[in-house]
Each structure stands twice: as structure tokens, then as C-alpha cells.
Amino acid sequence: MAEYSNIYFIGIGGIGMSAIARYYHKKGLKVSGYDKTPSELTHALEAEGIEVHYEDNIDYVPKDIENTLVVYTPAIPKDMGELVHVQQAGYRVIKRSRTLGEIARGQHCLAVAGTHGKTTTSTLLAHIFADSEEGCSAFLGGISKNYDTNLLVSTNPVIVAEADEFDRSFLQLFPDIAVITSMDADHLDIYSDIENMHASFRDFASQVNGTVITKIGLPICESDTEATVLRYSYDDASADFYASDIKVDECGYFTFNLNWPAGVIEGCRVGIPGWINVENAVAASAIALTYGLAPEKVKHALGTFQGVKRRFDIHLNTPACSYIDDYAHHPNEISAAISSMRDIFPGRRLTAIFQPHLYTRTRDFADEFAQALSAVDKLILLDIYPAREEPIPGVTSEIIFENVTAPEKVIMVKEELMDYLKDEPIDTLITFGAGNIDRFIGPITEMLCQRQSDI
């Protein structure tokens, strides 16, 4: 982007957009942008010297058309005033995914794709490179707890990228090595059906230049790509990469042997709890080992990984009360998180708070959400977070709620939540959702900690 002196972002507060904004800011370009509401992310950008505003006002757009690149997220409405203005005024206007593709071009790209699991896996992969002192630049879909950022920058020409299937964004990437973690039905507002979504993943696989590593059982085969196809698994010994001799301690931390084509790495330990993170560790390690990192450095990095904010993120853990927050917004993600909670806290009473994300996703997976959430002891279900969507008649949280068979359940709007929790007995609690439920993490943690001190 050397030909531009200004980079202007419409939707700068998004997790993917903010990483790219930070990247250009570190490269010395003038970076600014719009977002709908202030957030922890936008405040962090402002603290780093990036100008952010919160009203749709073309006066904030840099006036130098020829020297300004405008980057936007498809989550922005097409009729948003600033977006319409830059498109009509002659600015170069590109989507976030195109920008990431241009940054990755000419570098060694390691990509992580999948309908779930990709954020933890890509963040762990980036940590493996950073911890090994090999170094990489990384554009992450979450905030790494090791580095307190969603961007790593290195002089080593290796890029770790989260390859997002939304809006077919990942088709802007042409990786050297890629992993595909999952291909469950999602984003059906974009793909219309799972067959179209699977076809898009196969298109992504066809763009990989070296090696595609897929979770065993996914419908990607050798005829879909000229790249080498390898498989990984949690514990299936028929895969190329898998865990064996798996042990879990009383706090939910796992140790295992990592099997790969060149041998066995014994005594690996993941630095965050939950069986799902063993699977994520196998996937991340598969890319790192295929790239050529030393097995002992991969093993060390797994043990020092601190996780990702809002990905099975432990905020309180005592014998009397435990609270975990998770970004899960797909039924399979929720099921995996609940399963991990049951492993870590056997016999304890589990309460879940869930905020559905998007009307279309709620409509398309209402039955699956109900089934997944029925595995808790009590469900507190909130109203739908709409994000980029307009309401759909007849689609409310009620269509999930009516089919939940958990022993206890209650439905409410989010404004009622904190008052309700004041008198609610909590043993183990998990909050789920990709909307603004994260605004409750601090107040809930503070309330539960206060209860502990009052005992």
C-alpha cells in the first residue's frame, strides 16, 4: 500500500478490521476510521494514536482521494452514508478480505479456516512462531492473552491469517499451508445451503499451494486441490496428526503425546484447559511442524499458551464459584464448550447465559441451539443481537426457548440480566455469544467476586 498515505476504515472496531488498522498504523501510514459504537477495541485503537469517530459523517473522511485507500467490512449496511460517499466520489474502496489478501501476497501464508475453532487455532499457531523466536506477522480473530493484541508484526516474511468463510472472504487468500478445522452449516444467509458452503471450502482448498491439513472426516479430498492433503484428529490414530495417551488433571488441563508423520512428541501440555484445546493444539502443531519448526519448540509453546480473550476464558475459578466466558455462537461450539465445562467441573451445577447472534442464524439453527443448550442445568436466554441484520418476522429467542429441555430455563431482555443475577445462586456459570454480551463480563465477574468476599 506504499502508494497511499491515508488508510480509512469503515467499521474499524471489528476484530479483523482493527488488526489491519493496527498493521498500517505500525507501518507509519495515517490511519483513521468510523465505528458505530465505542468499545474496548476502539478505545485501544485511540490510545495507540488512531483516530476513531462514532457518527456517520463524511466530513471525517480524508479529502485527498488519490492518496486514500478506504477499507470496509461487509457488516456495514450498503446504504451507510460514508460508504455511499466514498464509492461515488472516486476513492479506491475494497473489502477487508481483499486488503488481507494483498498484505499476504508475496509472503509465506499460513491460514486457518473453519466454521469454528479457527481463532484459537490461529492464535496458538502465531504463538508457536513467536515463542520459538521464528517470528511471524499474524492477523487474528481474537485478542491473544499472551500478547494482549490481535496483531503480531515481524520481519520474518511469514503471515498467520484467520481465513474467514463469511462472505467468501477466505477466497482472497492463497496460502502455502492451510488447516481446515470444521465445515458445519453456518452463514446460510450467504450460502443458502450447506452444499454451497462446502463448495466454497473446496475452492479455498484448491488455492493452497503446498499442504492442506483437514480435520479427519471433512469432505475435502485429494481431487479438490493440487496441494498435499493431510488429516488431523483429536485421538484417531488413522490421522496424520493426533493425540494419544491423553490425561486430564483435576483443573481440566490436558497432557498428551503428539503423533505426527516423523514420530511422537511426548508429554505435551496445553496451557489452557478443556479437551477441545487439545484438538486445537493438534491442528496448530500440524501446520507448525509441516512448515518445519522444531518439535521441542512446538512442545514448549503449547505449554506457555495463555489462550484468547472470550474463547473459553476463565474469569473466576474457586471451589465455591466458577465463571467462564465464551464467544460460541454456533450450536456445535456451544456443545463443545459445555462438554469441556462438564469435564472440568464434574458434578457441579452449570448455568448458561446465551445471547443469540443474528436473526438468520437463530432461524436456521433454532432446533440445534435448543438441543445444545438443553445440556445445562439452567439456561438464561437473552434477546437476539441483530448485528448487521434487520428483524425477521416470527424470529425471536422464543423459537429456541420453547424447545429447550434443561431442568430450568428463563428468557429475558439483556437489560434485565444483572438485576436477575443478584438473587441467582451460581455454582458454575458460562456466558455465550458473539454480540455485545461481552459488556456483562466485568459486572458479572465483579458481582461474583463480591459474593466470595462476603462469605
**DSSP H or E segment with residue 53:** strand 51-53
* Cell numbers at 313, concatenated: 476464558
* Structure confidence at residue 356 (pLDDT): 98
Per-residue confidence (pLDDT) for residue 187, from 0 to 100 = 72
- 301-304 long-range CB contacts below 8 Å, 24 or more apart? 301/124, 301/127, 301/128, 301/131, 301/132, 302/124, 302/128, 302/268, 302/269, 302/270, 302/271, 303/268, 303/269, 303/270, 303/271, 304/127, 304/131, 304/146, 304/271
Rounding to the nearest 10 degrees, give the CA dihedral for residues 79, 85, 89, 94: -70
Q: Tell me the per-residue pLDDT of 204-246, one tens digit each, with 9 for 90 and over.
A: 999 999 999 999 999 999 999 999 999 999 999 999 999 999 9
Task: Return d(Cα 409, Cα 400) in angstroms, integer.
Answer: 11
Q: How confident is the model at residue 427, as a pLDDT?
A: 96
The predicted structure's pLDDT at residue 387: 85
Res 188: pLDDT: 73
CA dist 60 and 63 (Å) reads: 9
Catalytic annotation, residues: 118-119, 162
Query: Could you report the per-residue pLDDT of 262-310, keeping only the tens digit for each?
Result: 999 999 999 999 899 999 999 999 999 999 999 999 999 999 999 999 8
Question: Using one digit for the tens of pLDDT, what is the confidence trace for 62-77?
Answer: 999 999 999 999 889 9
Mean pLDDT of the chain: 95
pLDDT of 116 reads 87
With 60 as the cut, is the pLDDT of residue 1 above it? no
- Residue 112 near residue 40 (C-beta atoms within 8 A): no
In tens, the pLDDT along 340-369 reads 899 889 999 999 999 999 999 999 999 999
Q: In angstroms, rounded to a whole number, what is the distance separating the alpha carbons of residues 275 and 294?
A: 24
In tens, the pLDDT along 415-445 reads 999 999 999 999 999 999 999 999 999 999 9
Element (H, E) at 52: strand 51-53
Q: Assign 190 a pLDDT band (cuts: 50, 70, 90).
A: confident
**Comparing 251 with 335, which gets the higher pLDDT?**
335
Query: Which tens digits make up the pLDDT trace of 26-64?
Result: 999 999 999 999 998 999 999 999 999 999 999 999 999
Cell of 259: 503423533
C-alpha cell at 431: 456466558
- The answer to whether residue 189 scores a pLDDT higher than 90 is no
In the prediction, which pLDDT does 208 show?
A: 98
Q: Read off the pLDDT band of 185 (50, 70, 90).
A: confident
Buried b (16+ CB within 10 A) or exposed e, 282-301: bbbbbbbbbbebebebbbeb
What is the rounded average pLDDT of the residues 139-164?
96
User: SS3 for 369?
Assistant: helix
Q: Quick one: pLDDT at residue 124? A: 98
Q: In this model, does residue 311 exceed pLDDT 70? A: yes
Domains of the chain (ranges plus CATH)? 6-95 (3.40.50.720), 105-304 (3.40.1190.10), 313-454 (3.90.190.20)
Nearest in space to 270 (alpha carbons), one of 298, 240, 310:
298
pTM: 0.87
Whole-number pLDDT of residue 455: 64
